[in-house]
Structure formats: C-alpha cells, structure tokens
Chain A
C-alpha cells in the first residue's frame, strides 16, 4: 500500500516545542482555572495529574483551542493560539478526545471516524486508509460498520481515541481516555500511547496514577490551576517518602507534593 507523505511532514520543524505556554491563564466561567503557568512540551507522552478541579480539563480545552487564553501566551507547533493566531493550521494537526465525548448515534463507526477525518481536512484520497488504520489501532476493525448507538461505553471511548488519531496528529490531547475501559483494554491503550511517544506530543489528563506510571515519559502535576511539578515519573517517585500516603512510590510522590501545596478548605 502506498503511503502519502505531505510536504509538511518532510519540512524541518521551525519550533523548539510542540506546546509552549508562558504565563498562560485560562478562565472557566468566572474562575481563573489555569493561573499563569509556564509549560513547554515536546514529543513524548505527558501525563497530566491532579485532583478534581485542579484545572486539568481547562488546560486541555485551551490546548484544544476550545477556550481562548485569558492571559499570557500560547504557541502550538510554532503558531500563536488566541485572537490573532492561525487556529486552522493548529487544528489540522491536533487530535482531541474531550472528557465528555459526544457522537452521532446513527453513524457507523467508520462513517463517524471518516466524518472527523474530513473535518480535520485529511486529504481526500487518504481518508479511507487513515480511517481503517485508526479503527484498527483501537481494535474496532470488526465493528467498523456497526452503528455507534450499538456500541458499549468502552467501545465508544475507543472510537473517541480513533477519531483523535485519524489525522496522525502532532499534538494529541486526551482527557480521561481510560474511563470506561476494562483492565485488558487499558493495557492495550498504554501500549498504543507508547507507540506514539516518538513522533507525537501526547497530553493525557488522568486521575489514575498507575496510567502515568505505565505509559508516560513525563509527568505534569497540577493543583489549583498552577503547575506543581514537571519531570519524569522516576523524579516524582523520588519525592515521596515512607510517611506519605499511597500504595506505590508514584502515589507517595504525588501525595507528598499535594500535601506541600496550600490546599483550600472544601477539598476532600
């Protein structure tokens, strides 16, 4: 089978970081859910960890160009994102799985992923092949011609991952992708993430520390809209001591960092 290689894929990169945020603030309603963070992410799998309400989803939505930055700057793939930014070029190169993934119930899996590929302006000739590859990667090739409404929750989540992958994105944003997946599916998903790490900047938001430990090259810990930690899983493990809460070294590192930040009343 021929694979088409676009000129953009052969061109040298003109940017140092896939995602480059400086003093980035993003509002969620009236609240400043992301509060002046500096973040530089290159290729690899970046696990975005943090308690509920920490601002993980708000950050991912800003990266997905759903929310506009309220302050600071955000560059993605070398393009400024925001009012004056070239959203279209960025959007062509991102894959996004929202936390609440909606879909057209009457479409088949193939039709749905095909539709998303078309919306992401995948060249027309490449769509059938790209759709087939994406569907195979999430193990749904045998259900490709079934209607979306006939799928289980876990399968729908996998279609969500397939549509995010279909344009071979250079930035892949996954918000809680493992919700609804059974343990075996979760293992395969982690393998999938590892296979993407060399060429793609993957940002995975999760509250499951073990997902990060198993699949991520990099951990970003987020609390109250601020960046608490960025480093490898090993470095996070090293922070935790035996007195910290948690069943694994990574858990203990996570607890240690969160305990050291000022937690507001009302958190659990």
Chain B
C-alpha cells in the first residue's frame, strides 16, 4: 500500500488538483466573508443554523461546480498535452488503476476545499446558538459528491476532446446550466424557466428562504443517482480507448439522469419539506417557538403573556389563547395562515425579531388583532393602510396610539393615516368601537376588504 500512496501523493502535489482546491477555497471564503448578501445577515444567514450553513455553502456550487468541471477537463488533457499518450499505452497497469489515482487526487482536494467553509461555518454555528442535528449532513455530502463527480466528468471530457477550448467551453456550459437551474430551484421562484424536477439535477440550490425547511430525502436520492452516473461516465471516458466504449460510457450518465428524474420530486411542496428536528415545538406554557428559535423564547415569553392578557381583557373570548411559531411554508402569492384562537409568530418579521419590551408587546397585539395579509417585505400603499389599521387596533387595546415597530414603510405616513381614524374611533361609545374593531378583524382575517376602511365605516348601524 505504501507505493500506491506514493503515486497518489505525487498526483496530489503535481496535478491540477491542488490549484483547483486552492482556487475553490479562496473563492468560497471570499464570497462568504467579503461580499454582502442574504447569506451574511438575517435569520437565514449562513452561520445561523446547521441547515442554512449547509444550504448556503451548496448555493455557492453555482460557480464552484463549473470550476471543478473546467479544472477536471484541464487535468484530463494532461496526457495529450504532455505527449505521453503513446508511452502510457505501452504500460501494463490497467488504465482504470491509473484513472483512480488521478481522479482520487482531485476528489480528495475538492472534498477538502468544500469542507473548509463547511467546517468554518460549523464553528460559527456551534459557537452561536445553532442547534445540533444531523439533518444537514446529506446536504453537504451531496455537495462534495457533486464536485468530485463534476471534476471526474470533466477529466473524461478533457481526455476525449483534448483541445485548449474544452476546459473553458465545458466550464461555461456548466455555469449556464447551474445559473438557470439555480433560479428554477428557488422556492420563491414564480415562473420557472426549467421544470423543478429537471432543475434539481443541479447541485447548486437556490437562496435560503427560511431555517425550517430542507430538501426531502427523494431530492438527495435523485441527486446522488445522477451524480454517481455522471462520475461513472467520467471514469469510463478516462479508461475507454475505442469509440464504442466511449458511447457506452456516456450511456451511464444518460441512464442515471433518467432514473434520477423519476426519483426527483416534481413539485415544490415535495422538494422543500419541514425540517422536523428544527421545527419541533419548544414551549413555555401557551407560548411555543420552534427549536430553531428556542433561544428567543426567554425574551419572548414576558411580552407574549402581556400581549395575550391585554387582548383577553379587550376581546374576551374572541382573543387568541396561544402563541405558536408557524412552520408553514408560504408559497409565493399566498397569504399566511391565520387563526382566531392561535397567534402565529414569524421570525422573518422584523417587528418580531428586533422589537423588545413594550414595542414587542404592541407588535404581537397587532398580529393578534389584525394579522397581516401582505408579506413583511411589502412596502406598498396597501401595506401602509394595513399598518395604520393595526396601529389603531393596538391603540384601542392599550389606550394609546403609538407607531408600530418596523422599517420597510414610513412611520409618519402610517401615523398620519392612523391618527384621524383613531381620534374618531376613540370618541365613539364603547360598543360602537367594538363593532368597528370586529369589522376590521373580519377584513383582516379574510383578507378581503380594507381593514382601515372597516374602522371608519364598518360596524355602523
């Protein structure tokens, strides 16, 4: 075994592998640490949780994978470029044995290169409040496998078509593929250029939208089948000497692709599933959050009970009794689930994640009295009217009109809308106030009609 290790060591030092590994590590770390984007801030940042770390590092395969393919092609051309083809053809060792060493060197360096950001991320997640679970491992393992398979496939192509154009063309084609398919893999993608099932053949997933969803097992299975087939084709191309053998080699990837497409899920809901470990409820009495956000529970409980108590006082048996973090994935263009008995919490909502103390109490009351029909990122005129209605509702419950916490809309505008409505409402008899509030709540819970309009007109006899 000593000598075969010697050959592997030589390949590790002298082949394209170490350069490829180095380039991949530098690009990944540069991207994660130096470039600003959703991966480095917010609740879904790459160091927040194990799954988000695994998904963001795999997100980077959008350019790492084409590079691995290109470097592989460069490596595959080595015998031809060096004029060694003839001499090598006269040696007795089977070509597979040689291919395994060369491909092995690339596999080791690329896996190590991919492991670097994953390990760094693991340290970040571990030292922050990430919850350990093993559900993220398949994501990273498939990611590493994709680099190995891509590189070996590139080697095979470089061997078969040893032209100076092969590596750049192959890498460019791979980049086109990963970019297109990544767009189609985004769970929030509206119109998909390619069907989701087909897009899932690319190892580069879309941006991480929340920390409670992960890929389903059938995604992992389909991807492993496809990548194994692609890698097998690469090895077979490295070994094949004749045209017929090369055609047979390509059939391995095609067959794997067909099987993978049968295994991969066709719909978004079967692709992205709730991560049961991370979504497990952690409760303090009637207030529950997911395990992913259990560290927020201590700060949340006080304001939550206060909000539940105030709503109980004002709404009586109409008030929500419990508070739960929602684990429902929201499809684009749909409204969030709402219930009159349970107040649903969302940690992608700035007013929940950043507000403290009385601000948080008012924010929770707002969600309990008039849950929003629009996304937290919405900044439209309709959103401002919604905020104004919520502000008036909170003022009705607490007796004081104050701006709600939030950033994506103008507080002054919201307050300018809310002020006259509140003053009118406040001047009315208690029973009329309540009937207007009920009308507003009907509008908010059904997402039909204008809640602010309901406060001015609704409930009038």
Query: With the chains together, A127 CA to B7 CA distance in Å?
Result: 11
Query: With the chains together, A107 CA to B91 CA distance in Å?
Result: 18
Contact of B83 among A96, A100, A163 (CB under 8 A): A100
Interface size on B, as a range, is 20 to 34
Known contacts A100-B83, A104-B14, A104-B84; 12 additional CB pairs below 8 A are A61-B86, A87-B92, A89-B92, A98-B87, A102-B86, A107-B10, A118-B93, A120-B92, A121-B92, A124-B1, A127-B3, A127-B6
A119/B88 in contact, CB under 8 A: yes
Question: Can you list 24 A-B pairs with a CB-CB distance of less than 8 A?
Answer: A61-B86, A66-B89, A66-B90, A91-B91, A92-B92, A96-B87, A98-B86, A98-B87, A100-B83, A101-B83, A102-B82, A102-B83, A103-B82, A103-B84, A106-B15, A107-B14, A114-B6, A114-B7, A118-B6, A118-B7, A119-B91, A125-B3, A127-B3, A163-B87
Within 8 A of A (CB), among B70-117: 78, 82-93, 98
Q: Which residues of A contact B14 (CB under 8 A)?
A: 104, 106-107, 111
Is B2 interfacial (CB 8 A cutoff)? Answer: yes
Query: With the chains together, A125 CA to B3 CA distance in Å?
Result: 7
Query: With the chains together, A69 CA to B88 CA distance in Å?
Result: 19
> Nearest CB to that of B88 among chain A residues?
A119
Is B427 interfacial (CB 8 A cutoff)? Answer: no
Within 8 A of B (CB), among A116-172: 116, 118-121, 124-125, 127, 163
Is B334 interfacial (CB 8 A cutoff)? Answer: no
Contact of A111 among B10, B86, B92, B93 (CB under 8 A): B10
Is A213 interfacial (CB 8 A cutoff)? Answer: no
Is A64 interfacial (CB 8 A cutoff)? Answer: yes
On whether A66 and B86 interact (CB within 8 A), knowing A114-B6, A114-B10, A124-B4, the answer reads: yes
A104/B87 in contact, CB under 8 A: no
A124/B89 in contact, CB under 8 A: no
B71 → chain A, closest Cβ, in Å? 14
> Nearest CB to that of B80 among chain A residues?
A102
Contact of A101 among B3, B87, B93 (CB under 8 A): B87
Binding site for B on A (CB under 8 A): 61, 64-66, 87-89, 91-92, 94, 96, 98, 100-107, 111, 114-116, 118-121, 124-125, 127, 163
Query: With the chains together, A3 CA to B7 CA distance in Å?
Result: 22
Q: Which residues of B contact A115 (CB under 8 A)?
A: 7, 10
> Nearest CB to that of B16 among chain A residues?
A106
Q: Which residues of B contact A88 (CB under 8 A)?
A: 92
Q: Which residues of B contact A66 (CB under 8 A)?
A: 86, 89-90
A104/B78 in contact, CB under 8 A: yes
A91/B92 in contact, CB under 8 A: yes
Query: With the chains together, A65 CA to B90 CA distance in Å?
Result: 6
4 tightest A-B contacts by CB? Answer: A102-B83, A124-B3, A119-B91, A91-B92
Query: With the chains together, A106 CA to B19 CA distance in Å?
Result: 13
B106 → chain A, closest Cβ, in Å? 15
Query: With the chains together, A115 CA to B78 CA distance in Å?
Result: 14
On whether A119 and B92 interact (CB within 8 A), knowing A102-B82, A104-B14, the answer reads: yes
Query: With the chains together, A89 CA to B93 CA distance in Å?
Result: 10
Query: With the chains together, A65 CA to B89 CA distance in Å?
Result: 8
Query: With the chains together, A181 CA to B268 CA distance in Å?
Result: 69
> Nearest CB to that of B93 among chain A residues?
A119
Name the residue in B15, B82, B88, B91 with the highest tally of chain A Cβ atoms < 10 Å from its Cβ: B91
A119/B84 in contact, CB under 8 A: no
Q: Which residues of B contact A121 (CB under 8 A)?
A: 92-93
Contact of B93 among A61, A120, A163 (CB under 8 A): A120
Contact of B82 among A61, A87, A104 (CB under 8 A): A104
Q: Which residues of A contact B82 (CB under 8 A)?
A: 102-105
Q: Which residues of B contact A65 (CB under 8 A)?
A: 89-90
Query: With the chains together, A92 CA to B91 CA distance in Å?
Result: 7
B85 → chain A, closest Cβ, in Å? 8
Query: With the chains together, A89 CA to B14 CA distance in Å?
Result: 29
> Nearest CB to that of B78 among chain A residues?
A104
Name the residue in A64, A89, A107, A119 with the highest tally of chain B Cβ atoms < 10 Å from its Cβ: A119
Q: Which residues of B contact A124 (CB under 8 A)?
A: 1-4
Contact of A102 among B2, B87, B90 (CB under 8 A): B87
Q: Which residues of B contact A102 (CB under 8 A)?
A: 82-87
Q: Which residues of A contact B10 (CB under 8 A)?
A: 107, 111, 114-115
B10 → chain A, closest Cβ, in Å? 5
Query: With the chains together, A138 CA to B90 CA distance in Å?
Result: 22
> Nearest CB to that of A127 among chain B residues?
B3
> Nearest CB to that of B87 among chain A residues?
A98
B7 → chain A, closest Cβ, in Å? 5
Q: Which residues of A contact B83 (CB under 8 A)?
A: 100-103
Query: With the chains together, A61 CA to B83 CA distance in Å?
Result: 15
Mask of B1-45 contacts with A, CB within 8 angstroms, 1/0:
111101100100011000000000000000000000000000000
Query: With the chains together, A64 CA to B92 CA distance in Å?
Result: 11
